[in-house]
Amino acid sequence: MIYTLEDFIDEFTKIKALGWIQTHRSGPTGIGKTLEDLLGIPENNLDEPDFGEYELKSCRIDSQSMLTMFTKAPQPARANTYLRETYGYSSGAYDNEEKVLHATLSATRFTPISDTGNQLKLSCDIHGIYIMSQNGRENVYWSKDTLQRCFEKKYKNKFVYAKAISRGIGATEEFHFTEAYKVSGFDYQSFIDLLEKGKIYVDLRIGQYHTGKNKGKTHDHGTGFRIRENDQYLLFKNIQRIV
């Protein structure tokens, strides 16, 4: 078990020297499980640091896997209903003609919305992130303050990010852990820069309730801000390579 950042650096340096290590678990979470086992960190789902004051994150270098940073419905009130009714489409998943809106938006290009003829994308400025249609900017947005609160609530600890080269798949996957970074402090400008480069996406998952008193009303299934796992550490203001 490790307790301090110095402990981590010492143990990770030894792990790096081992070269290729077979995964301790098949699938996407194999890299985290393997590193935790090697460091003697017990597996848990608690919202607390993994060692000392640090939470440990790990990722495969050059991985294209996406992870959800946080979920947050857009502003103002009833924005989701406006989007669904204006840009949504009928779905066979429901027994009525009410619309749904499922789409992955980026700031680098317009996303066609099913067969509606509509297109949506993201637009950024110093005040927040907005949704744009082919006709211009909509009054649908996430303010800078809202985004910062969401990020800091999800990432309230200090972090160590470990990276590894990987090869193989499933139970035969192997990792060579090569570098680690200490990161802290959300950087809104970095968030915007990554979004404008197409490295952050917003998944709209707006449906409707199937049953009950809210049947037919808008149901936000979790509007998610997503990023490639290998880019996540770039969201932080303070980035220091430690191994």
CATH number of the domain that residue 197 is part of: 3.30.70.3570
8 A C-beta contact, residue 208 and residue 83: no
Q: Which of 23-32, 70-79, 86-95, 205-214 has the lowest mean pLDDT?
A: 86-95
Query: Any idea what the Cα angle at residue 110 is, between residues 106 and 115, rounded to 5°?
Result: 120
Same domain for 115 and 215?
yes
Same domain for 23 and 107?
no
**pLDDT tier, 209 (very low <50, low <70, confident <90, very high otherwise):** confident
* pLDDT value at residue 94: 54
Q: Kindly report, residue by residue over 128-148, the tens digit of the pLDDT.
A: 999 999 999 999 999 999 999
Q: Is the sign of the CA dihedral 56, 161, 146, 223 positive or negative?
A: negative
- DSSP class of 157: S
- Tell me the average pLDDT across 148-175: 91
Same domain for 60 and 76?
no
* pLDDT value at residue 213: 82
Q: Output the domain CATH number for residue 28.
A: 3.40.210.20
* pLDDT value at residue 187: 87
Same domain for 61 and 132?
no
8 A C-beta contact, residue 206 and residue 88: yes
Token couple for 41: 């960190």
Same domain for 95 and 177?
no
Same domain for 16 and 30?
yes
Same domain for 30 and 95?
no
Same domain for 78 and 128?
yes
Q: State yes or no: pLDDT of 93 exceeds 80.
A: no
Same domain for 72 and 60?
no
Q: Kindly report, residue by residue over 44-73, the tens digit of the pLDDT.
A: 776 788 999 999 999 999 888 888 889 999
Give the residue numbers spanning the domain of 106.
68-148+189-230
Q: State yes or no: pLDDT of 121 exceeds 90.
A: yes
**pLDDT tier, 155 (very low <50, low <70, confident <90, very high otherwise):** confident
Q: State yes or no: pLDDT of 96 exceeds 70.
A: no
Number of domains in the chain: 2
Same domain for 141 and 201?
yes
Same domain for 111 and 168?
no
In terms of pLDDT, which residue wins out, 49 or 242?
Answer: 242
Q: Are strands 54-60 and 158-167 parallel, antiparallel or unpaired?
A: parallel
Max mean pLDDT range (40-44, 154-158, 199-203) = 199-203
Same domain for 220 and 139?
yes
